[in-house]
Chains A and B, each alone.
Chain A
């Protein structure tokens, strides 16, 4: 079918959903459920699984109409669900029935999802993780600790990477599961960060059980499955368009405009450098979106995470430098209600300044992102690995 015909079909379906389930009047789960049933949640998924079997680029056609009519941005409501869990479940769940059982409530946002990858001892070296899953009949018994889990306290399901074989090389001994966050032995605690808030959680698993039917992919194939998830995280992060001067730079420019009493040529020049870099990155994201719909992303797609994180830090550093003594006041460190909830972290300038320290760590450190650009985009050789080929249990840890 031609692109034009595809687009017309998607537009038709989206208009019908909007007409029959006006997002301004019906509850969000009803609206998003109708989107799922019409195949508009992920148009590139197969029919019957929230998709239409079309090209990924057609999603923008649907979203323009659905969100234009006042529909929510589902990625914002269920970020791990839409961005990571959906593609992984769709590709790796063991049966169509399970896929459907998981995908529809994910799409409606009735089931929130979280991601259980990072551990206190496994951050950049994720494949070194130590949470164990030991088989017991047709179940697995889990023990270990995960960290930096946003939404864990509200999540129904978690995407979990666990070690099923400690006697072989670290990448090979991992298996991927869907964990019921309500299962006995799963405990979630808020994790307080340097801003004073708790956007994330720690999750402790003590003899928690997972049925083998909730394993995604083969035993020992967890690393490859996780790569699907992470690739989707990266494309989910960089897919939205933005207007010139929007985003973090807007905070700095607005602050500049509101405080003529603090203007100096040096601060003006620093701000113009930040503005230019923000604009160059915005145009690079636009170019990346253009190439994503015409034949796959180029190298420009990989720079966004690296640049965006550094820009956030530099922009809020600039704000603090402009404010001088006024900047060293704060709203206070009382832990707000809703601890463990991402989303309300965008407080005053000072909080954003503190929060931005995490930007070059979360979702891949700046150092790892530069390795990725160097090795995957430029094709440079990898660094020496002291643990290459070593059974996981013999790798020094600490």
Chain B
């Protein structure tokens, strides 16, 4: 439970925000991000360890009984927003957004407890090798089979798959679909070239790979659905962090860039574009926070709240990233300028866990198909009143 009402952050949460921002500024500056994204292991393991052990921001909503600090998803979202603003390097998507929530929702047991503690601590990382269908669990997409204590099969395009220490994978056994943990050393991994170098992917092949079962057939669907919903909400928050950074960048440029003897931000063509970016950002922020609170205190249907957030935040970041390049003009199209890093992240985030259009379609299913004809206004019929 969040101990704070929706949209209200506590004093402690403001301090958390400041601490994570400071850490990101010190460790994920642009030069570092650029160096790491082109390294064989695209993150700094020591910095990742500190995120877990020193800052404690890799599993903020993990209950104390499971080795966490017993915070809420709101706390986790605060950290993720700061990560998004700096494109923090590391397997956040696989570990923090998906694997940790999956483990939290899984029944307690030695395999689950040990792995959860290691992920929260930052001593190990994970990737989530469960193909989703537009952000929802889809049993038909499970391509791995379980046979006793081993799993076999291939999962395509696993985000963070190449660098993760542990692969959390869904596999179909004789009694149905279960969720398993597999040591990455027992898999074969083919790194893929990705549009966004800061969010790498790999194809993972399991061949009689030893596996520890985290959740059995009676639990797996609930566990995976929970992970996908939390992951989608956190991804939306990440998009908010990135979008705010881009708007700040574009506004700063519009104030400092002079053409025709004036700051370009004084032209309404530029100013109004920036105002529209602000509106999109504020909408994304509201829907993303709402999804986080809905998942935290059960105040709303999580599936609907998450789809509203994903539909809004994915579209917002995509527009804002494109318009950030536009406001910057030629410099914004160069490799040297940071805008493209965020533009590529925007494209990536929009595609992961369901596109804006897929979530919009789901929202339409929720709210239009059973809509009531009551309460609307009449249509004039042209007859004398």
Please determine whether A287 and B7 come into contact, CB atoms closer than 8 angstroms. Answer: yes
Please determine whether B368 and A306 come into contact, CB atoms closer than 8 angstroms. Answer: no
Neighbouring A residues of B360 by C-beta, 8 Å:
269, 272-273, 276
Kindly state the interface size class of chain B when it binds its partner: 35 or more
Counting chain B CB atoms within 10 Å of each CB, the highest count among A286, A370, A383 belongs to A370
Give B234-270 as 1s and 0s: 1 = Cβ < 8 Å from A's Cβ atoms: 0000000000000100010011000000110111100
Answer whether A374 and B272 are a contact pair too, CB < 8 Å, given A307-B279, A327-B379, A332-B384: yes
Selected from B7, B274, B372, B380, the residue in CB contact (under 8 A) with A350 is B380
- Residue of A whose beta carbon sits closest to that of B362: A272
Give Cα A378 to B382, complex, Å.
Answer: 48
Report the stretch among B23-31, B225-233, B286-294, B346-354 that lies at the interface: B286-294
Nearest-neighbour CB distance to chain A for B367, whole angstroms, equals 6
- Residue of B whose beta carbon sits closest to that of A328: B382
Give Cα A369 to B271, complex, Å.
Answer: 11
Please determine whether B275 and A374 come into contact, CB atoms closer than 8 angstroms. Answer: yes
Neighbouring B residues of A256 by C-beta, 8 Å:
368, 371
B385 within 8 A of A: yes
Neighbouring A residues of B283 by C-beta, 8 Å:
277, 280-281, 283-284, 303, 307
Within 8 A of A (CB), among B329-385: 360-361, 363-364, 367-368, 371-382, 384-385
Report the stretch among A47-55, A59-67, A246-254 that lies at the interface: A246-254
B35 within 8 A of A: no
Neighbouring B residues of A268 by C-beta, 8 Å:
364, 368
Please determine whether B265 and A287 come into contact, CB atoms closer than 8 angstroms. Answer: no
Counting chain B CB atoms within 10 Å of each CB, the highest count among A374, A377, A384 belongs to A374
Within 8 A of B (CB), among A366-382: 367, 369-371, 373-375, 377-382
B285 within 8 A of A: yes
B2 within 8 A of A: no
Neighbouring B residues of A271 by C-beta, 8 Å:
364, 368
Secondary structure at chain B's binding surface: helix, strand, loop or mixed? helix
Selected from A346, A370, A380, the residue in CB contact (under 8 A) with B255 is A380
Give Cα A294 to B290, complex, Å.
Answer: 18
Nearest-neighbour CB distance to chain A for B270, whole angstroms, equals 8
Neighbouring A residues of B255 by C-beta, 8 Å:
379-381
Neighbouring B residues of A370 by C-beta, 8 Å:
268, 271-272, 275-276
Please determine whether A254 and B373 come into contact, CB atoms closer than 8 angstroms. Answer: yes
B44 within 8 A of A: no
A255 within 8 A of B: yes
Please determine whether B380 and A276 come into contact, CB atoms closer than 8 angstroms. Answer: no
Within 8 A of B (CB), among A336-395: 346-352, 367, 369-371, 373-375, 377-384
Nearest-neighbour CB distance to chain A for B77, whole angstroms, equals 14
- Residue of A whose beta carbon sits closest to that of B282: A300
Please determine whether B379 and A291 come into contact, CB atoms closer than 8 angstroms. Answer: no
Please determine whether A280 and B287 come into contact, CB atoms closer than 8 angstroms. Answer: yes
Answer whether A349 and B275 are a contact pair too, CB < 8 Å, given A371-B268, A380-B254: no
Nearest-neighbour CB distance to chain B for A100, whole angstroms, equals 37
Give Cα A303 to B274, complex, Å.
Answer: 13
Give Cα A67 to B372, complex, Å.
Answer: 27
Please determine whether B287 and A330 come into contact, CB atoms closer than 8 angstroms. Answer: no
Secondary structure at chain A's binding surface: helix, strand, loop or mixed? helix
Selected from B251, B285, B367, the residue in CB contact (under 8 A) with A287 is B285
B69 within 8 A of A: no
- Residue of A whose beta carbon sits closest to that of B315: A276
Neighbouring A residues of B117 by C-beta, 8 Å:
none
A19 within 8 A of B: no
- Residue of A whose beta carbon sits closest to that of B372: A257
Please determine whether B385 and A332 come into contact, CB atoms closer than 8 angstroms. Answer: yes
B5 within 8 A of A: yes
Please determine whether B379 and A326 come into contact, CB atoms closer than 8 angstroms. Answer: yes
Give Cα A378 to B374, complex, Å.
Answer: 42
Please determine whether A373 and B279 come into contact, CB atoms closer than 8 angstroms. Answer: yes
Please determine whether A254 and B380 come into contact, CB atoms closer than 8 angstroms. Answer: no
Give Cα A348 to B378, complex, Å.
Answer: 5
A299 within 8 A of B: yes
Answer whether A290 and B311 are a contact pair too, CB < 8 Å, given A275-B368, A299-B282: no
Q: 14 extra interchain contacts, Cβ-Cβ under 8 A, other than A276-B312, A284-B285?
A: A253-B367, A257-B368, A258-B376, A272-B364, A272-B367, A275-B368, A280-B312, A283-B286, A290-B5, A329-B381, A374-B271, A375-B271, A378-B251, A380-B255
- In the A-B complex, list the 10 residue pairs whose CB atoms are closest, starting with the nearest: A254-B376, A329-B382, A258-B373, A280-B283, A374-B271, A348-B380, A272-B364, A290-B7, A373-B275, A283-B286
Residues of B with Cβ closer than 8 Å to A?
A: 5-8, 247, 251, 254-255, 262-263, 265-268, 271-272, 274-276, 278-279, 282-287, 289-290, 308, 311-312, 360-361, 363-364, 367-368, 371-382, 384-385
17 contacts between A and B (CB under 8 A): A254-B373, A272-B368, A279-B287, A280-B283, A294-B8, A299-B278, A303-B283, A306-B275, A331-B382, A347-B377, A374-B271, A374-B274, A375-B271, A378-B275, A379-B251, A380-B263, A380-B265
Residues of A with Cβ closer than 8 Å to B?
A: 245, 250-258, 268-269, 271-273, 275-277, 279-281, 283-284, 286-287, 290-291, 294, 299-300, 303, 306-307, 323, 326-327, 329-332, 346-352, 367, 369-371, 373-375, 377-384
